[in-house]
Structure 1
Amino acid sequence: MASSLSRRQVVAGGTAALVAFLGFGTSTAQAATTAAAAPAPTPAGGEPKGLLGFAAVPPATTDAVTVPPGYSVQTLAPWGRPLHSGGPAWLADGGNSSTDQARQVGSHHSGLHFFPYDDGPRGSRLGTLVVNHEATDATLLHRDGGAALTREKVDKSLAAQGLSVFEVRESGGTWDLGDSPRNVRITGTTPVNFSGPVGSGHPALRTGTAHAGTLGNSAYGVTPWGTYLSCEENVAGYFGTDDPSWRPTRTQKRYGVSAAGHGHRWHTVAPRFDVAVNGNEVHRFGWVVEVDPAAPSTAPVKRTALGRFQHVGATVTEAAGRVVLYSGDDENGGYLYKFVGEDEWRRERARGRSPLDHGTLYVARFEDDGTGRWLPLIHGRGPLTGEHGWRDQADVVLRVREAADALGATPLDRPQQTAVAADGTVYCALANSPGGGYCGSGGGTGRGRAISPRESNPYGHIVRWREESAEGFRWDVFVLAGDPAHDEGVGLDESGMFGSPKGLWFDGDGRLWIQTGISKWAQNCDESGHGNLGNNAVLVADPANGEIRRFLTGPRGAEITAVVTTPDRRTLFVNVQHPGEHTAAWGAPTPERPCAVSGWPDHDPAGRPRSATIVVRRTDGGVIGGV
């Protein structure tokens, strides 16, 4: 595996042959990004220049966003900003009601995409931003923190999650929200529909109440037809029960459902989240949710053919006109999945069918020799038969983790987002894993396999592969993350070392943007080997030469969860999630001292830290990250 561990090695295989075989094209979902990719400029008589044209910023522990010289930062859409002028104003003491929150930008910003209004220059100055909101922090959400849980507090938490959709426009070098009918909130109580094998009328979804809400909205994807795919993650933790007679089923255990949940205790004031009362309610979450930003009154649709698990990405590309969607299951020992459409997506839509409802779902097996296979998750094939307890395809996608266990898929070190390069190479971030095996996995520990090259992997790594056939691929390791002072296998220097890669995105010139999410228990801690890595960051890689540089560092306690540019690549939108949360290095916020860890972005002594979407631009108006 020595060559596989070289981040400078280009994945073996004939690009032209692959393109001809699969019909690979870059996704129109990334309009004006990978579709416009160009080779690096070549000086006369010299070697091609690299893609990175900025000075790396050093690791930081300050409570601020830092960017390279020649760049500026603007806070655009912090948690609590009203979506419309005249809407409820942000109250710095946490005093906004649940009704207020439903009309304000949500909390814990995660996935992010910019939809331009047209294809010309105007499209880089005016468009719609869609932002995921993954979670809430009770200590910061309410005036008195998590004390005395009430239904109003649960309602506010539901209103703070979901998605924010809003118009943004640039004028005179400054971006702002615009009053628009497109400005809407989608929350934990918004009416939703289900499609695919587990449709809205399926018995597994019946609870006696209407289908409503989306939760745990983490990473994202974008379709070629211009819709946004929001991924539900970590949803089991919102459920629980105080019924001493309740016992979880095998499937509930496999999906992390327990009586205690993650300590939210919503079930004590909202029976919807009591698994002993509404056991089917949990089946309504853990899906990919399709939202049309151009039609804000249309109900979001949960596309069940993509499977139920902790989706942390829904990256869409095309092969022979069919959609190909990659998604990781963010679990220690979680699996990597691929969905391939049944027919060309344009023909499917012309028939009035969703291309995401009809196709084949696969799960990955990574072999130690650098090859891999996509194992089809199809009812009636292999072990997924009635004889083995599988009723139909709906049962397969509802219990897809167990189906993947049965097929012998490869457990991974918390698979995160994927990104597809212009040449068809697919990259996937693996965040990290604890030593001594994985919890919650039915597929084995994964340790000792080439895809998990370290016995303990606190830093994570990035793998990549090329599709060689409909069900076969060839893979290698692009880069091992970490600090070379603590792991001699890490080939990164101070300008590019990082930990826990989670977000990946390619820009139109072929730069790979990496966002990190070192956990609160490891961030800035020498004891965990993360002290030299500083706060979470954005890094940029040139896949052609393997160079990686740190572009941005975030405030204390925060993760950097998403980046995307305008089509002209002269504006970069970045999501900063949960600054100021409890960290081992900096302590914990309290209702009396909400800014104990961070006061970003307002630094108001009477306020509290706020997740936010920020804008990064070059002061000379040039391409972000470019030469």
Structure 2
Amino acid sequence: MDRKHIINDPEIGNKAEAYEAFDDIPTNPHLENTIGDVIAARYGRREVLRGMLGVSAATTLFGTSALVAPTAAKASQQSESRYKFDELTWGNDEKHHIAKGYEADVLLRWGDPIMADAPEFDVMNQTAAAQLKQFGYNNDYVGFTPLNAEGTRGLLCVNHEYTNEEVMFPGLGRQDKQGFTGMTRDLIDIEMAAHGGTVVEIAKGADGKWAVLRDSTLNRRITPLDTAMILDGPAAGHARMQTKADPSGTAVIGTLNNCAGGMTPWGTWLMAEENFHGYFWTDARDADGKPDLSAHADAASMKRYGVPGGWYAWGQHHDRFNIDKEPQEPNRFGWVVEVDPRTPDAKPVKHTALGRFRHEGCETTVSSDGKLVIYMGDDNRFDYQYKYVSNGTVSYTADQNTDLLSDGTLYVARFDADGSVHWLPLVHGTGPLTAENGFASQADVLIDTRLAADALGATPMDRPEDAQPRGDGTAYIMLTNNTRRKADEINAANPRAKNTFGHIIEIKEDGDNHAAIKGTWSILVKCGDPEIAEVGAQWNPETSENGWFASPDNCAFDADGRLWISTDQGSKWGKTGKSDGLYALETEGDLRGHSKLFFRCPVGGELCGPYFTDDGETLFLAVQHPGTDGTKSLKGFERASTFEDPATRWPDFDPKMPPRPSVVVVTKTGGGKIAG
């Protein structure tokens, strides 16, 4: 299906859904030995039957033990969950819901003033100047760094991924269907001001409630409209990074499509640039009306990255987003950005040593030998899982860690059928990464990380999103879905064709050392409804109808080392009937693979975050794009949302206000550890 048919598909209700559906078409031409092939070879006849026939057929042949994750012991009725809460009931409606005994308070909403001189939000009279001092749109990653020993004051760091024009601006409607005819320079500047990120100081009161300190001098917005940034690492200053506005190739304005992220051990914030390709524009068209890249020296690279996507009209009014005028500007996006939230005057840094791709998450840990390790996914169907290992060791004094993100080795994963995972170094001169194959320097390897990973034979995955490392050398990889995988493309680590529901892989690094270049892997769960045979789901048998989920996206460990999963089904939630939400997932013992529902979003919303404070008593969650995705599946509404007619007006429920992406603070009624 081409772009035109996707845009006009009656089942697609907004631009974001169309954008995602178009990205369902992989850009990776190397689909041999994908993770599905590896999974098929990794597990024997029993597991292949389970994956192809589903839960009902598998249990008929092999009994209930076939449902347990491969390395787990058989679950028993006597097993006790480590997560102490009464499970929430699944569903989908206009409100958010939390497990009994917990409170979920809205802390920050799109448009809320975050600076002392910021104007109050006026949704009918928005301006870029106002938005630059207000909380941005579509909050995704949430991080927190404390400012006092008690952890009752701190800085909240929030990514703002993208904007939904049709519910953001009055009277506008879907712009991708109208050729962006309604998008003026003023509206585009508001969009740009709503992207990026927010740093805001918050404090916990005597009543246990958290509040924004609007007068804090540490509060700031980071946007693609006006925030000056530095490029560092091997690609900084390279000819392919130079533009008319920046002939040095070392400075860039802003960051965009910031999805998941991470916090470093020394308290800086890592912002991952994901679907940057959609913001670039071209006026050049071929005979079929498609973007014509024939005049561009980087045409092969652009094609592999999906540039120009043309899903935003920024290039009509800002030359740097038009590849006809600034052909190398796309090379300056797709990186990980480090921000020092305690120093508002410090310029954010784009670290090119971490590679250029559609970054989903950049979760950090310290290896057993003291090195900084970062796990990162490339969120596209049939793309790869990465990790970065610093050459130096971590100091807990911030100014002693300045080189850790610019001096190290980037690796890409190859998952083998024998259960081993190999981390392949993306280093110039290694194997095929030579000038003869188009990689003249380490800068080329990093600018074209995807092409370099292709050349090394990395394993194509089912949309690797967030990855969460644990201190014992274990990491959990979220594989959200891949409906494009064909039956002859399944493998050991991607076991299902037309993988609508996703799965989670567990990695055990050799020697319990996250810096190791080899480890082992297994599947923790295969997601989806275990009652439908053809889904081929795999859960612990104790998982209830409320507890199974689809499309794992972000994840986090709490203070006790327990894993929590948030989901992003997009417009496909109608296939499960469940809102996206937060689930507690057992990784050890008899209940390994057992999941419980804790929180669920209002209709059309995606759950992001999650982030626990060090004491385990506060959980920050982000609900983005409420009232947008899949609203045609909501019984009684069954149409696409607009500014004037949304499926929900969460969280204000004000007839004059559209739905507003918001950060929610979860605490236990009366205090104490969450799920403790």
Shift of 1:493: 2.9
Shift of 1:435: 3.6
Quote how far apart the aligned CAs of 1:272 are: 1.6
Distance verdict in 2 for CA 1:351–1:84, change over 3 Å:
closer
2:20 is aligned to: none
* The one of 430, 439, 442 aligned to 1:390: 439
Q: Is the 1:76–1:613 Cα contact (8 Å) retained in structure 2?
A: yes
- Between the two proteins, the alignment pairs up a number of residues equal to 570
CA offset at residue 350 of structure 1?
7.0
Matched with 2:229 is: 192
Cα deviation for residue 173 of structure 1 reads 2.2
Give the SS at the match of 1:342. strand
1:103 aligns with 2:137: no
Task: Mark the CA change 1:582 to 1:11 in structure 2 (over 3 Å): closer, same or farther.
Answer: closer
Aligned-residue offset at 1:392: 0.3
1:515 aligns with 2:566: yes
Q: Deviations over 1:338-387 (max 9, x none)?
A: 11111213399777742010111110000112111111111011000112
DSSP 3-state at the match of 2:444: helix
SS at match of 1:278: coil
Q: Is structure 2 residue 516 aligned with structure 1 residue 485?
A: no
Alignment of 1:135-150 (within 5 A): 135-145=162-172, 146=175, 148-150=182-184
Residues 345/7 of structure 1: CA separation in 2 closer, same or farther (3 Å cut): farther
Shift of 1:591: 3.9
Query: Aligned residue for 1:25?
Result: none
Match of 2:144 among 89, 101, 114: 114
Equivalent position to 2:328, from 280, 284, 304: 280
SS in 2 for 1:343: strand
**Most deviating of 376-385 and 558-567:** 558-567
Residue in structure 1 matching 2:193, options 159, 181, 191: 159
Give, in angstroms, the shift of residue 500 of structure 1.
Answer: 0.4
| 416-425 or 282-291, which deviates more | 416-425
Secondary structure in 2 matching 1:557: coil
Is the contact made by 2:384 and 2:460 (CA closer than 8 Å) also made in structure 1? yes
TM-score by length of 2: 0.81
Of 293, 309, 319, which aligns to 2:357?
309
**Counterpart secondary structure, 2:665:** strand
Among candidates 293, 306, 312, match of residue 341 of structure 2: 293
Q: Among 225, 230, 244, which residue is 2:285 paired with?
A: 244
Q: Does 1:588 align with 2:640?
A: yes
Structure with greater helix percent: 2
Q: 1:214 to 1:138 in 2, by over 3 A?
A: same
Aligned-partner Cα distance in 2 for 1:222–1:474:
26
Q: Is the 8 A contact 1:303 1:357 kept in 2?
A: yes
Q: 2:598 aligns with which of 551, 562, 577?
A: 551
Give the direction of change, closer, same or farther, for the CA distance of 1:105–1:283 in structure 2 (3 Å limit): same
SS, match of residue 272 in structure 1: helix
CA contact (8 A) 1:51 1:509 kept: no
Q: Alignment partner for residue 180 of structure 1, among 213, 216, 224? A: 216
Q: 1:329 touches 1:416 (CA, 8 Å); kept in 2?
A: yes
Is the counterpart of residue 563 in structure 1 residue 597 in structure 2? no
* Aligned-partner residue type, residue 82 of structure 2: L
Which residue among 537, 559, 563 is the counterpart of 2:581? 537
Distance 1:566 1:254, change over 3 A: same
Q: Offset of 1:87 from its aligned partner?
A: 1.5
Equivalent in the alignment of 2:84: 53
SS of residue in 1 equivalent to 2:361: coil
Check whether the contact 1:11–1:466 (CA below 8 A) recurs between aligned residues: no
Aligned to 1:140, the other structure's residue is in SS state helix
Task: Give the SS at the match of 2:337.
Answer: strand
Cα distance in 1 for partners of 2:335, 2:596 equals 34
Q: What corresponds to 1:40 in structure 2?
A: none
**Structure 1 partner of 2:312:** 264
1:76 aligns with 107
- Taking structure 1 as the reference length, what is the TM-score of the superposition? 0.87
5+ residue gaps in structure 2?
1-42, 48-65, 176-180, 247-251, 287-291
Structure 2 match to 1:329: 378
CA distance change for structure 1 residues 446 and 111 in 2, over 3 Å: closer, same or farther?
farther
Q: How does 1:345-494 map to 2 (within 5 A)?
A: 345-346=394-395, 353-437=402-486, 447-468=489-510, 470-486=516-532, 487-491=535-539, 492-494=543-545
Q: Quote the Cα distance in structure 1 between the aligned partners of 2:400 and 2:670.
A: 48
Matched with 1:497 is: 548
Assess, with a 3 A threshold, how the Cα gap between structure 1 residues 53 and 582 changes in structure 2: closer, same or farther: closer
Q: CA offset at residue 143 of structure 1?
A: 2.6
State the alpha-carbon separation in 1 of the partners of residues 461 and 439 from structure 2. 25
Structure 2 CA distance for partners of 1:235 and 1:203, relative to 1, 3 Å: same
CA deviations over 1:67-120 (Å, ceiling 9, x no partner): 111111211011100002441111233x2101111100000000111111133x
Q: Which amino acid aligns with 1:180?
A: S
Letter of the 1:112 partner, please give it.
V
**In the alignment, is the contact (CA less than 8 A) between 2:69 and 2:538 conserved in 1?**
no
1:170 matched to which residue of 2?
Answer: 204
Following the alignment from structure 2 to structure 1, what is the Cα–Cα distance between the partners of residues 131 and 396?
A: 41
1:91 maps to 122
Contact 2:197 2:222 in 1 (8 A): yes
Q: CA deviation at 1:270?
A: 2.0
Most deviating of 579-588 and 183-192: 579-588
User: Shift of the alpha carbon at 1:243?
Assistant: 2.2
Note if contact 1:410-1:446 (Cα within 8 Å) is conserved in structure 2: no
Instruction: Tell me the percent identity.
Output: 37
User: Contact 2:381/2:484 (CA < 8 Å) preserved in 1?
Assistant: no
Task: Find the aligned partners of 1:536 and 1:570 in 2 and give their Cα distance.
Answer: 23
Maintained 8 Å contact 2:69/2:523 = no
Contact 1:318 1:324 in 2 (8 A): yes
SS of residue in 2 equivalent to 1:73: strand
Describe the SS at the equivalent of 2:489: coil
Q: CA RMSD in A?
A: 2.2
Q: What is the alpha-carbon distance in structure 2 between the residues aligned to residue 498 and residue 99 of structure 1?
A: 41
Contact 1:510–1:542, Cα closer than 8 Å, also in 2: no
1:223 alignment partner in structure 2:
264
Q: Amino acid of the residue matched to residue 105 of structure 1?
A: F
* 1:177 maps to amino acid: V
Deviation of residue 537 (structure 1)?
0.6
SS of the aligned residue for 2:372 comes to strand
Which residue of structure 2 aligns with residue 43 of structure 1?
none
Shift of 1:607: 0.9
- Asked if 1 retains the 8 angstrom alpha-carbon contact of 2:559 and 2:612, the reply is no
1:504 Cα offset (Å): 0.9
| Structure 1 SS opposite 2:570 | coil
Give the superposition deviation at 1:234: 0.5
What's the secondary structure of 2:654's corresponding residue?
Answer: coil
Whether contact under 8 Å (2:266, 2:398) holds in the other structure is no
Residue 440 of structure 1: aligned partner: none
In structure 2, C-alpha distance between the alignment counterparts of 1:352 and 1:427, rounded to whole Å: 26
Greater displacement, 150-159 / 409-418? 150-159
CA distance in structure 2 between the aligned counterparts of 1:414 and 1:313, rounded to whole angstroms: 12
